[in-house]
Amino acid sequence: MGYWRSEYCRMIATGPHSLTAFVIFCGLWPLSILYGLVMVLRRSLYRFGLKKTYRASVPVICVGNLTTGGTGKTPMVDFLARHLGARGIKCAIISRGYAGRYRQKAGRVFDANGNRLMTPEECGDEPYLLAVRNPEVPVYVARNRKLGVQAAEQDGAHLLLLDDGFQHLALHRDANIVLLDAKYPIGNGHLLPAGMLREPLSALQRANLLILTRHDEQANLPLTAHVPVMRSRHVLAGTLKSLAGEVVSAKDWVGKNCLAFAGIAKPEAFFTALRKFGFRYIDEMPLADHQEYNQEILNRLLGSCHNYDMLVTTEKDAVKLSSARFPLPCYQIGVDLVFDDMTPLDNLLDQILESGI
């Protein structure tokens, strides 16, 4: 399955590049046409009022994307929560709780006193990480995100951040911030499953701000944007932390052999960035996005610990490893967003805050 998965991932990112990829594309292309028709019908139902859109009593900012795969939505929501907090705005985060087991109407990850109400397995790794990184910001999980919005409204939130909600037309948004990976902004240009697009490019008409993530000087947006475009980079934090959150100094890792593992959408980007940290040698273990650390996976990690001095993983993975016992030190490292120019984002926030609060 590894070969076929690799061929498929490369095909949806850059187009058919081999006979195998072309066969895969031809088999999936009719399904993409059908998927596109379903999306058109769905949008029409909302446009003509046959399906209702809920409008919250406070401003809602949505952070989403147009493609599958990791574009950096969670780091962006985290950044916005901190940025708004610095401006004195009492915001809350609403998440669907992807890959979590929570099935009640709506619930908070931590209560107002900082007591944990859900485990990472219940709420999902990303909502839990957002709650840990932003203890002053309520994080709500709800499969029906309208219920999460209503819970946040009742608790007195002044502004809501909707995580991964660009395709969630059942909620009115005062602003849509859409993230595009600078390397593959629209993939091969086709809809799922023959491509990476969740919606046609015309959906970008709903966007108020586009952000090219993982940007470098060679990356350009392959379409004409009608809204401001920002560029950002993902930068690993300058320190490592133990699974318990204790910061360790550079002498604890420089020149040592490391086994790095990551259950995120694009682990290769994490591994590449990690190589700048001064390790003598890094071996890589990519895992599935939102990886569940069951005993099988833990045994795989335990069996791979030989010949290394330490383990390193992402914050997203670390929240699910608090009870793990490794024979080697295991550290986590966070990701920060760095923007070339904050002006478009600040202008958008000013417009929303002036009109809505």
For 218, the token pair is 């060679």
Pairwise CA distance, residues 88 & 83, whole Å: 9
CA distance 274 to 277: 6
Q: Which residues contact 204 (CB under 8 A, 6 or more apart)?
A: 66, 178, 210, 223, 225, 226, 227
In the prediction, which pLDDT does 84 show?
96
- The mean per-residue pLDDT over the stretch 161-165 comes to 97
Cis peptide before 16 (omega within 30 of 0): no
Please give the pLDDT value at position 219.
56
pLDDT digits (tens, 9 = 90+) for 278-302: 899 999 999 999 999 999 999 999 9
pTM of the model: 0.94
Q: What is the C-alpha to C-alpha distance for residues 39 and 34, in angstroms, rounded to an integer?
A: 9
Q: What pLDDT shows up at residue 223?
A: 66
Residue written as token pair 């109407």 = 105
Burial of 138 (0-12, 13-18, 19+ CB in 10 A): buried
Q: Do the Cβ atoms of 299 and 310 come closer than 8 Å?
A: no
Determine the 3-state secondary structure of 315 from DSSP: helix
How far is Cα 168 from Cα 53, in angstroms, rounded to an integer?
10
- Joined tokens for residue 245: 């959150």
Average pLDDT, integer, range 136-157: 97
Crossing angle (nearest 10°) for helices 125-133 and 73-86: 30
Q: Are 290 and 265 in contact (CB under 8 A)?
A: no
Q: Which residues, other chains included, contact 291 with Cβ-Cβ below 8 Å and sequence gap of 6+? A: 263, 297, 317, 320
| Per-residue confidence (pLDDT) for residue 3, from 0 to 100 | 76
pLDDT in tens, 41-66: 999 999 999 999 999 999 999 999 99
Q: What are phi and psi of 89, to 5 degrees?
A: -95, 125
Residue with tokens 């406070």: 58
Q: What pLDDT score does 249 carry?
A: 85
Gap between the Cα atoms of 348 and 238, Å rounded = 30
Q: What is the mean pLDDT of residues 240-269?
A: 92
Mean pLDDT of the chain: 93
**Structural contact between residues 107 and 97, judged by C-beta atoms closer than 8 angstroms:** no
Compute how many other C-beta atoms are within 10 angstroms of the C-beta atom of residue 76. 22
Q: Rounded CA gap, 232 and 211, in Å? A: 7
H or E element in which residue 123 lies: helix 120-123
- Of all helices (H) and strands (E), which one includes residue 10? helix 2-14
The answer to whether 294 and 302 are in contact (CB under 8 A) is: no
Structure tokens at 247: 């910061």
Which residue, among 70, 218, 74, 66, has the nearest Cα to 134 in the 3D structure?
A: 74
Cα gap 22→61, rounded to integer Å = 39
pLDDT at residue 322, as a whole number = 87
- From 326, 6, 61, 8, select the one nearest 194 (Cα to Cα): 8
Extract the runs of DSSP E, i.e. beta strands, from the chain. 60-65, 91-95, 107-108, 139-141, 159-163, 175-181, 209-213, 229-236, 240-242, 247-248, 257-262, 281-286, 310-314, 330-333, 335-339
Kindly indicate the confidence band of residue 15, based on its pLDDT and cuts at 50, 70 and 90.
very high
Task: Please determine, for residue 20, whether its predicted confidence score (pLDDT) is greater than 70.
Answer: yes
Nearby residues of 260 by Cβ (< 8 Å), 6 or more positions away: 270, 271, 274, 282, 283, 284, 285, 311, 312, 313
Q: Identify the weakest region by mean pLDDT among 13-17, 54-58, 341-345.
A: 13-17
Q: Which domains occur in the chain, in start order?
A: 2-47 (no CATH), 60-233+339-356 (3.40.50.300), 238-333 (3.40.50)
